[in-house]
Chain A
Amino acid sequence: MTEFLTKYAYLIVPIVKIAILVFIVLTVDAYLTWIERKVIAHIQARWGPHRVGPHGLLQPLADGVKFIFKEDPLPAHVDKVAYFLAPFITLMLALTSLAVIPFGPQKFTVFGYETHVGIADVNISLLVLFAITALGVYGIALAGWGSNSKYSLLGGLRSSAQMISYELTLTLSVVGVLLIAGDFSLRNIVEQQASPARGLLTWNIFPQIIGFACFYIAAIAETNRVPFDLPEAESELVAGFHTEYASMKFAMFFIAEYTSMIAVSCLATILFFGGWLSPFPASWAFTHYLPSLLLIPFGLWIIYDGIRYENLFGRIVLPGVGTALTVVGGALVLLPVLNDAVQGPFWFFAKVFTFLFVYIWMRGTLPRFRYDQLMSFGWKFLLPVSIANVVLTSVVILWRMH
């Protein structure tokens, strides 16, 4: 048994990692919808979902069950290949883009096979991500066209045109980071931002603030989120390119949108905010206990809130969750080995979560662009600014070399 595992470790270990990652990503997607609904609700001065479980925590589960049991109609005269292929392509590409993202610095050995925290470590991981983004246009174009409905076709064409326009800016705004790092590999880009003495100050955000602004705006346009979500706006075009999709296929589009949000946030943290690096200098050793410092009070607060919850289910579940979090926080304090292993992924997920929160915050606050405003903003403002950023970065690099 162990011999079999050791001999085929190069196949089995990635498959296990893929299974774990897909499970984690789908759960995070589901609870991201919960967070989004709660945050937008509180911005709009109302409660979000709060009936389905304690604080509405079982709402994503209810939504999932609804999606599974809902009727999945097939509209008349659709182009079967395009109609069935579109959500499949979108979801597959969104999930594949998470394969090349490194989540932490450690390399660990299992069954004699040395591996790292992340699924694939390729030299050109940044180019792979761009290739996947470039292919993502097809999902939307085929969805719009295959649905045999003029609203879907219009929404699909508009959305694909928007995605292509902002894809150029997305690619060019990252060239500044590539010039500084000199390498396509995401892991090396993070390593080059590392400096244990100065912590936060060597991250790429400071030399590349223009690049970051262009990248983030283009990324929001790529993922079709507010303020760039006219193609799927509910009040303008029925529902845009996914009008004719119901239940499971709509759920695929939905999951693909949230997964690409997560992928873009991961990319933004890796390229500009130092990935898994801690913002504090390494000499401030007490910052190693920040994960525990966050988990233990949070767990205690959940226990306190749960004890006084209104129904019995909440009174059992919430203190249970709170106790689990407190125990994990305590274990991190007591076992330094575990604490060191958790540091990298903890900072990575904290930064990714901050970006996701900004995404949701913008959805609750900003109005949406009109389509011609959107296109002229992308071509006439963002693209020249990102090209200027590339020129400026290369001039500064050349000037520093002499």
Chain B
Amino acid sequence: MSGSLIIFFVLALLAVFAAISLIVQRHPIHSALSLIVVMIALAGLYLLMGAEFVAAVQIIVYGGAIMVLFVFVIMLLNAEEEERTNFSKLATYAGIPLALAVAGFIAAAIASSSGSLPAPESSGALTSTKTLSNLLFSDFVYPFELTSFLILVAILGAIVLAQRET
């Protein structure tokens, strides 16, 4: 059991338990906190794979801005615990195992074909930010400009949506 395998299992179990906690918790604020734990665990996994800049951006943007937005909205709307449903029990008892079976099927397909996946080259090598920025501004400059435009449109949309009815 090498060190990176142990760290992988710890972070993977943390992510899966936090995702299960997101489903199981009744209050949306606790689900939001579980999602933040998932994101931090995934940032740890990115660090394990050598993607240090992506890990930092994941925590700063996803965990520090997007999830803060979620938490603010939950606090502003004064969300309460979910009420008991009169949904059919069949959906719960048949649906959850079915969904997990789908996920397990995909996982098994991946595992069985793992021989044809290329082995990780340069194990543990860190991706330098310079490489990322070179790619971003040379090969991917068109999507980059489009996403900046997308953010501008999103800002305008959020402002229009948040205006009070006069």
**Interface of A toward B, CB cutoff 8 Å:** 79, 81-82, 85, 122-124, 127-128, 130-131, 133-135, 137-138, 141-142, 145, 153, 157, 160, 164, 167, 171, 184
Q: Which residues of B from 8 to 51 have beta carbons under 8 Å from A?
A: 27, 29-30, 33, 36
Q: Once the chains are docked, how many angstroms separate the CA of A153 from the CA of B29?
A: 14
Interface residues of B in 51-97 (CB under 8 A from A): 52-53, 56, 59-60, 63-65, 68, 71-72, 75-76
Given contacts A127-B60, A157-B75, contact A138 B68 (CB under 8 A): yes
- How many Å lie between the Cα of A164 and that of B60 in the bound state? 11
B64 touches A137 (CB 8 A): yes
Give chain B nearest CB distance to A63 CB in angstroms: 32
User: What are 6 A-to-B residue pairs whose CB atoms are below 8 Å?
Assistant: A127-B53, A134-B63, A137-B68, A138-B36, A138-B71, A160-B68
- Name the B residues within 8 Å of A130 (CB-CB): 56, 60
Asked if B53 contacts A124 (CB within 8 A), the reply is yes
Q: How far is the CA of A127 from the CA of B33 in the complex (A)?
A: 22
Given A127-B53, A138-B71, A164-B68, A184-B129 contact (CB < 8 Å) = yes
Knowing A131-B64, A164-B65, say if A145 contacts B56 (CB, 8 Å): no
Asked if B106 is at the interface (CB within 8 A of a chain A CB), the reply is: no
Q: From the candidates A81, A85, A134, A141, name the one contacting B60 in the complex (CB within 8 A).
A: A134
CA of A81 to CA of B28, assembled, Å: 12
A123 near B68: Cβ-Cβ < 8 Å: no
Instruction: Let me know if A141 and B68 touch, CB within 8 A.
Output: yes
Inter-chain pairs besides A128-B56, A130-B60, 19 sampled, C-beta below 8 Å:
A79-B29, A82-B29, A127-B56, A127-B60, A131-B64, A134-B60, A134-B63, A134-B64, A134-B65, A135-B63, A135-B64, A137-B68, A138-B68, A138-B71, A141-B68, A142-B71, A153-B75, A160-B68, A167-B64
Cβ-based interface call for B126 (8 A): yes
Instruction: Report the minimum CB–CB distance from B129 to chain A (whole Å).
Output: 7
Task: Decide yes or no: A131 and B56 within 8 Å by CB, A81-B30, A137-B64, A141-B68 being known contacts.
Answer: yes
Given contacts A81-B30, A145-B29, A160-B68, contact A124 B60 (CB under 8 A): no
Q: How far is the CA of A160 from the CA of B73 in the complex (A)?
A: 13
- Bound CA–CA A138/B68 (angstroms): 7
Partner of A81, one of B33, B65, B126, B129: B33
Q: How far is the CB of B62 from chain A (nearest CB, A)?
A: 10
User: Contact partner of B126 among A123, A153, A167, A171, CB < 8 A?
Assistant: A123
CA of A164 to CA of B64, assembled, Å: 9
In contact, B59 and A134 (Cβ under 8 angstroms):
yes
Provide the bound-state CA to CA distance between A171 and B53, in Å: 15
**Contact partner, A124, options B52, B63, B64, Cβ 8 Å:** B52
Shortest distance between the CB of B61 and any CB in chain A (Å): 8
B60→A131 contact, CB < 8 A: yes
Which of A127, A157, A171 contacts B72 (CB under 8 A)?
A157
Complex Cα–Cα for A171 and B64 (A): 13
- Complex contacts, A133 vs chain B, CB 8 Å: 64
Q: Which residues of B contact A138 (CB under 8 A)?
A: 36, 68, 71
Q: How far is the CB of A237 from chain B (nearest CB, A)?
A: 17
CA separation between A197 and B72, bound complex, in Å? 52
Nearest CB in chain A to that of B128: its residue: A123
Closest chain B residue to A164, Cβ basis: B68
User: In whole angstroms, how far apart are the Cα atoms of A141 and B29 in the complex?
Assistant: 11
Let me know if B59 and A131 touch, CB within 8 A.
yes
Q: Which residues of A contact B129 (CB under 8 A)?
A: 124, 184
A157 contact set on B, CB distance < 8 A? 72, 75-76
Q: Please, which residues of chain B bring their CB within 8 A of the CB of A123?
A: 52, 126
Q: Is there contact, CB below 8 Å, between B33 and A141?
A: no
A322 CB to nearest B CB, Å: 47
- Chain B neighbourhood of A141, CB < 8 A: 68, 71-72, 75
Q: How far is the CB of B137 from chain A (nearest CB, A)?
A: 13
Please give the distance in Å from A241's CB to the nearest CB on chain B. Answer: 12
The residue in chain B whose Cβ has the minimal distance to the Cβ of A153 is: B75
A124-B56 CB under 8 A given contacts A81-B33, A134-B63, A138-B36: yes
Residues of A within 8 A of B65 (CB): 134, 164
Report the separation of the CA atoms of residues A221 and B108 in the bound assembly, to the nearest whole angstrom. 51
The closest CB in chain A to the CB of B59 belongs to: A131
- The answer to whether residues A135 and B71 also contact, given A81-B30, A123-B52, A124-B52 and a CB cut-off of 8 A, is no
Which residues from chain A contact B36 at a C-beta distance below 8 Å? 138
Task: Tell me how far the C-beta of A358 lies from the nearest C-beta in chain B, rounded to whole angstroms.
Answer: 27
- Whether the Cβ atoms of B30 and A135 lie closer than 8 Å is no
Picked from A135, A153, A167, the residue with its CB within 8 Å of the CB of B59 is A135
Contacts of B56 in A (CB 8 A): 124, 127-128, 130-131
User: Which of B64, B71, B72, B76 neighbours the largest number of chain A CB atoms within 10 Å of its CB?
Assistant: B64
B58 to chain A, nearest CB (A): 9
